[in-house]
Amino acid sequence: MKKFRKEGSIILFALFYFLFIALIVAIFISLTMMSETYQRVQTAAESGARTRALSVNIPLKEQYGIIETFRPDVSEGYKPNYKEPEYSFSPTPGYDQAILSPTSTEYKKALSDATDAAKQMVMTSLQDSLGTNEAGDKIVDLKKENICVQVLPLPAGDSITKKGKLNFTCTATVNGKPVTITANNVEVYGYNHSLNTSGKLRVYNVAFVGVAYEDRHMFFNLLQRLINGEDESKWNDPPVRGTYAIGYPQIDSCTTDEC
């Protein structure tokens, strides 16, 4: 009888040990997938920030009071969002026509297009890079409202070493709930730095793209139960995570007499 009890204890211990190891492996897999998901969302955010940075006008635009606008490819079916006003005797260097007034409807539409382009780039970059979880749901199902964009003016700085600091913040929405993405005291090179200058041209802006998402990785239910304990109302809620990226405009080549 004692022999059977001993064997039973060994079996129970082995079963408990197996379940414990399985739990640890499941948690490790889940954490690994969470990390991988975060990295891919981060990469997508960087693509969005680069796209928004490309949408920031640079060559002498600030002299006209223009800080940012979107320059879409006409071949894609968009209309050029700049025009040659009657009083303009020469075009802006690097462009065929002068820029729109910042108070014009067309210019405001250009800003909206710029933000939409950045958001679309984030979604496109992530679309095919992630699969589904064990329930068949997308691990990350990004929508435009999950992405927010901010463009801030750069500080002056100096030509070599001095950096300034900026506080970035924008608000995305996940399931109707606002999620604020922030990055405080970020060191940036100012518009006088050599990286942001070419002749008389200056980069005066920096683009910030924030992404908030539900991480529907494998075993997220298990982790939610471990984190929230007896609060069953949160067991099936995927964790909401956020990340961001910052993109500098690349200064255009300047080859005219204005440079």
pLDDT of residue 67: 38
- Report pLDDT digits (tens) over 145-162: 999 999 887 787 766 666
Q: Residues 191, 203: contact at Cβ < 8 Å? A: yes
d(C-alpha 189, C-alpha 203), whole Å:
10
pLDDT of residue 133: 55
> Phi and psi for 135 in degrees, rounded to 5?
-90, 0
- pTM score > 0.85 for this model? no
pLDDT of residue 125: 86
- Report pLDDT digits (tens) over 15-25: 777 777 766 77
- Report H helices in the chain: 2-54, 105-127, 220-228
pLDDT of residue 2: 52
Phi-psi category of 222—alpha, beta or left, where left has phi over 0 and alpha has psi -120 to 50? alpha
Sites in the chain below the pLDDT cut of 70: 1-10, 13, 22-23, 26-27, 29-31, 55-104, 106-107, 128-138, 158-162, 198-202, 216-238, 250-259
pLDDT of residue 24: 72
pLDDT of residue 144: 93
d(C-alpha 152, C-alpha 107), whole Å:
18
